[in-house]
Amino acid sequence: METELDKKIATCPSCRSRYRVSGPMEGKTVSCKKCGKKFSVLFEKAEAPTVTEPMDDVPEAPAPASQEDTQLAFAKFALKSETITKEQLIEAYLFKKKQKEAGRDVHLGDILVEKNMISQERLESLVTAQAFSETRTLDGKFGEIAVQMGFAKQKDVEAAREVQARLFEATKSVAQLGDIMVGDGIITDDQRDAILSAQHRPNRPSHTGRAQPEESKAAETGTPPQAVSFELTVSDDKLDVFVGAVPGDASGIGMEAIRDQLQSHGIKHNVLSDEQILENLKAESLYGGGWLVARGTPPKPGRDEEIRCYFETDPLKVGTEKEGGIIDFKDRGAIPYAKQGELVAEKILGVEGVPGMDVYGQAVPPPKIKKAKFLAGRGIEKSEDNLKFFAKLEGRPSLSLDGRIGVRPEITVSGDIGYDTGHVDFEGHIEVSGAVQDGFRVKARGLRASEILKSDVEVSGDIVVNGGIIGANIRTKGNLQAKYARGATIEALGNVLIRKEIYDCNIRTSSACVVENGRIISSRISAKKGIRSVDVGSDGSNPCKLIVGIDEVTEKEIELINEKIAQWEEHKNGLETLVDHIKVEFERLDTQIGKLSRAIEDQTKQLETLEKVIEELKSQNNPSQSAKVHEVAENLNSKIHQISKALERLAKEKEEVAGKIVIHKEEIQRTDEVLQRLQDRKESIVEWSKQEPSVPAVTVSGAIFAQNLIEGPHSAIKLKNDERHVVIKETLVDQEEDAPKRWRFDIASME
């Protein structure tokens, strides 16, 4: 059995990687595991080379004899070039070890790419640079040998090395110095081969410009290699041409024959150069489908027309995803809303593509761009160029299936607001033919519905309910009308008008609360402009609490605003304190930087003085004293370097601290803006409330039962008896001029 020692050495001529291979592999074509290029296996001779003169220190090519050694060299080169860090290399090697234990042998470079430590392009560049670096090292000795043996002059070697460097910089290809010197006529092929043998580097295979048949299959079978010829294959889109190999006559292998075939087929556009074709021949497998020899210019696709809508075109989506991935089927997002004159949609014109050209020189048209429908519906005003749509009025913009865009001043919900619609958030008026069902939220400018059940409703305008309100929580900045209200909590800036009954409700309004043809039972009602009803209470019901002449709505709003103002002021005070602390740190750093800067300046002057002393001592031929002064200067220079490093660190810290000060000051400015808006809002509410007169009165056209409590701004009354057709109003009691004011509720008959 063949042992590892029985194997021979084969070297890749491209990257100089060395491999131990079995004897039967000689003559076969293999791929280098390092650079990926193919080469014929040629074994190195064991005997020493014969040269005309003895040479010392002829190094053996430092190429690895195994894949592990090759990857180790790659790792060292990657570290040296600062492509990766030691920590990244250790991580990659540990990963490679685990993969190998799992039966997967992965190249170190592929691991670096997989771990996103380097890109695939950087890996390829690194492998090429490593090959060039190793080749340059070997070729340095190659040049010395060439000069030593009298084959070339030193200036010729240096000129060839410059060509080698420029070639790599321009093409990223690694050319051996010997091949360049042969090509320039500096040395002969035999002289080059002799130097390579002296270096234990294999001779370069000759390239005649004619592709040779693949030898691997012939070597395996022991039969002579089969000659091949070529045939052209044109892709269906006529943009690519390949030369494919078929067994038979080998006369069509040469570049001249390929050119003849291309010309005879009329292929003339973007034919590759001879160098590019030969490079493709090296890279492609001979029987793997052919080599690219011509590539047409593909057409550049254009851009389709686009309708860009500035609103949500699918408001009735399934639901909104909450934290944790839970879908809230009630929350389907806000319904889009457009203000008058607002841009709601525009048409982005398409861009025609650019024609290409096939390999025959014929134009290839680009794909046709798609046209978009752009139709104006109701509530839309078009621009002069018909490319922009604006809202004629405030309302909901929508896009129909036929591409028609319109704006409606309201939305109509056929049926209930429930699971079919989800929560509704719309900055316009909503018409609901059914009810607002339990558990759903509605936010709008206006609302009309048949019923509002146990839901949460917030409206900035008026609310009209044809039927009743049952268990709802309602807030409106307008008026509210309903047939009845039961178990509801209502807060309104406008009037609350109920036709039949208020039962077990909590109502606060900045205006009046009126029950036109019914009664108020077991409820708490606060109305700045008074309460009017047919009846209040009943024989068996809990008493009502009626508060008149007091604006609890604005009081609550002002209280909330004051709480927010306090929170923002606390936030601002914290920021100002933080800025003060940071400023102290900034001043400390500034002081330290000043001290270190002065220290560097002083020590630099001392160093300059010492350097002059050293020069004087040298001129006086006093080496011992000069050495002592030089040592002092070196220590001083080292100290200056250390101080400079500390100065850089402090300057960086100072810059970071200054940045924090700027950020916090900007936050303070934003906080001031929020505080000003809150203060303006508060003053506006107070001013509005002052302009609206209060009416501390309860008017009953029917009966108000005993035990009901009435409160006003200054006094209160608990009825002892039932009363009918009365006005119960808080009035100022007649009193002497210097006496304190006294108020009371008087009960008077309705006129």
What string of H, E and C letters represents the secondary structure of 613-673?
A: HHHHHHHCCCHHHHHHHHHHHHHHHHHHHHHHHHHHHHHHHHHHHHHHHHHHHHHHHHHHH
Whole-number Å distance between alpha carbons of 302 and 352 = 5
Domain shared by 569 and 687, yes or no: yes
One-letter-per-residue 3-state SS of 509-532: ECCCEEECCCEEECCEEEECCCEE
CATH number of the domain enclosing 619: 1.10.287
Domain shared by 575 and 668, yes or no? yes
In a domain, 32, yes or no: no
Taking 80 as the threshold, does the pLDDT of residue 422 lie above it? Answer: yes
Question: Would you state the pLDDT for residue 28?
Answer: 65
User: How much is the average pLDDT of 364-377?
Assistant: 87
Q: Does residue 211 register a pLDDT over 60?
A: no
Do residues 60 and 165 both lie within one domain?
yes
254 with 375, same domain: the answer is no
Between 97 and 639, residue with greater pLDDT: 639
Summary mean pLDDT of the chain: 80
E strand or H helix at 127: helix 120-148
**728 alpha-carbon distance from chain centroid:** 67
Q: Give, in order, the Cα–Cα distances in Å from 232 to each of 239, 294, 494.
A: 13, 10, 87
> Could you tell me the pLDDT band of residue 92, with boundaries at 50, 70 and 90?
confident
For residue range 713-740, what is the model confidence (pLDDT) as tens digits? 999 999 999 999 999 999 988 766 667 7
- The per-residue pLDDT for 699 is 95
Residues 685 and 595 in one domain: yes
Cα 575 to Cα 52: distance, rounded to the nearest angstrom? 86
pLDDT at 326: 52
Distance of CA 609 to the CA centre of its chain: 57
pLDDT tens for 687-708 read 778 877 899 999 999 999 999 9
Please report the pLDDT score of residue 150 as a whole number: 82
Residue 389, pLDDT above cutoff 80: yes
Q: Which residues contact 288 (CB under 8 A, 6 or more apart)?
A: none
Q: What is the pLDDT of residue 285?
A: 44
CA gap 220, 351 in Å, rounded: 58
pLDDT score recorded for residue 287: 36
Q: Does the residue 152 lie in any domain?
A: yes
Q: pLDDT by residue (tens digit) across 423-455?
A: 999 877 899 999 999 999 999 888 999 999 999
CB distance 452 to 465 below 8 Å: yes
| Cβ neighbours for 281, distance < 8 A, ≥ 6 positions apart | 211, 291
Supply the angle between the helices 154-171 and 120-148 in degrees, to the nearest 10: 170
Max avg pLDDT among 92-96, 157-161, 486-490, 640-644: 486-490
Sign of CA dihedral 138, 143, 144, 150: positive
Alpha helices (H) along 33-119: 67-80, 86-101, 108-114
Give the pLDDT score at 248.
Answer: 38
Region of poorest pLDDT, from 244-253, 293-302, 627-636: 244-253
CA distances to 107, 123, 128, 692 from 69, rounded to whole Å, are: 12, 18, 17, 92
Distance CA 329, CA 209 (A): 72
How do 396-399 and 388-391 pair as beta strands?
Answer: unpaired
Residue 26 placed within a domain: no
User: Does residue 324 have a pLDDT over 70?
Assistant: no
pLDDT value at residue 675: 93
pLDDT band at residue 457, thresholds of 50, 70 and 90?
A: very high
Which amino acid, 404? R
Residue 552 has a pLDDT of 93
Domain tally for the chain? Answer: 4
Within 13 Å, how many C-alpha atoms sit on residue 522's CB side?
Answer: 10
Give the tokens for residue 159: 């000129």
Q: Which of 62-76, 119-133, 394-408, 682-696 has the lowest mean pLDDT?
A: 62-76
Distance CA 184, CA 161 (A): 12
- Asked if residue 456 has pLDDT above 90, the reply is yes
Nearest by Cα to 173 from 329, 291, 282 = 282
Helix (H, G, I), strand (E, B) or coil at 271: strand
More confidently predicted of 428 and 188: 188
Summarised one tens digit per residue, pLDDT across range 505-550 is 999 999 999 999 999 999 999 999 999 999 999 988 999 999 999 9
- Collapse the DSSP code of 457 into the 3-class scheme (helix H, G, I; strand E, B; otherwise coil) and give the result: strand
Residue 358: what pLDDT?
92
Whether pLDDT at 665 is above 50: yes
Domain boundary among 643, 665, 691: 691
Domain boundary among 163, 198, 233: 198
Helix (H) or strand (E) holding 277: helix 274-283
pLDDT at 323 over 90: no
Question: Quick one: residue 471, left, alpha or beta (phi over 0 = left, psi -120 to 50 = alpha)?
Answer: left
Q: What is the CA radius of gyration of the chain?
A: 47
Is residue 452 a part of any domain in this protein?
A: no
- The pLDDT, as a whole number, for residue 544 is 96
Q: Hey, what are 711's tokens?
A: 């409160």
C-beta atoms surrounding 158 within 10 Å: 11
Q: At 646, phi and psi to the nearest 5?
A: -65, -35
The rounded distance, in Å, linking the Cα atoms of 718 and 720 is 6
pLDDT more than 70, % of the chain: 79
Structure token pair of residue 687: 């001013």
Burial of 30 (0-12, 13-18, 19+ CB in 10 A): middle
Contacts of residue 442, defined as CB under 8 A and 6 or more positions apart, other chains included, come to 417, 423, 424, 425, 430, 436, 455, 456, 457, 458, 459
> Residues 12-62: pLDDT tens digits?
766 666 666 666 666 666 666 555 566 666 655 433 333 333 333 333 334
Pick from 14-18, 155-159, 241-245: least confident: 14-18
Phi-psi region of 437 (alpha: psi -120 to 50; beta: other; left: phi over 0): beta
| Same domain? 249 vs 320 | no
The DSSP output letter for 692 is S
Question: Is residue 254, in this structure, part of any structural domain at all?
Answer: yes
One domain for residues 172 and 53: yes
pLDDT > 90? residue 491: yes
352 three-state secondary structure: coil
| 163 and 228 within one domain | no
- Asked if 383 and 265 touch (Cβ cutoff 8 Å), the reply is no
Average pLDDT, stretch 304-333?
Answer: 64
- What distance in Å separates the CA atoms of residue 134 and residue 136, rounded to the nearest whole number? 5
In a domain, 515, yes or no: no
Q: What is the C-alpha separation between 470 and 653, in angstroms, rounded?
A: 64
Tell me, yes or no, whether 611 and 663 share the same domain.
yes
CA-wise closest residue to 30 among 44, 46, 14 = 14
- Say which range, 53-57, 125-129, 745-749, has the weakest mean pLDDT: 53-57
162-186: pLDDT as tens digits: 878 877 776 666 778 888 888 778 9
Maximum C-alpha span of the chain: 141
DSSP element (H, E) containing 218? helix 216-221
Clarify whether residues 564 and 612 are in a common domain: yes
Share of the chain above pLDDT 90, in %: 35
Domain containing 563: what range? 556-691
pLDDT reported for residue 45: 45
Residues 594 and 660 occupy one common structural domain: yes
Which H or E run includes 559? Answer: helix 552-619
pLDDT for the residue numbered 53: 36
CB proximity list for 6: less than 8 A, separation 6 or greater: 23
Judgement on whether residues 566 and 661 belong to the same structural domain of the protein: yes
Residue 16: the pLDDT is: 62
**CA-based end-to-end distance of the chain:** 129
Domain end call among 270, 295, 320: 295
750 lies in a domain?
no
The SS3 call for residue 54 is: coil
Can you give the pTM of this predicted structure? 0.45
More confident residue, 301 or 620: 301
Residues 278-306, mean pLDDT to the nearest whole number: 74
Please give the Cα distance from 82 to 78 (Å, whole number).
6
Tokens (6 digits) for 98: 């685990």
Choice between 216 and 86, residue whose per-residue pLDDT is larger: 86
Does 583 fall in a domain?
yes
Lowest mean pLDDT among 120-124, 284-288, 325-329: 284-288
* Amino acid 70: pLDDT: 67
- Cβ neighbours for 599, distance < 8 A, ≥ 6 positions apart: 643
| pLDDT score at 193 | 84
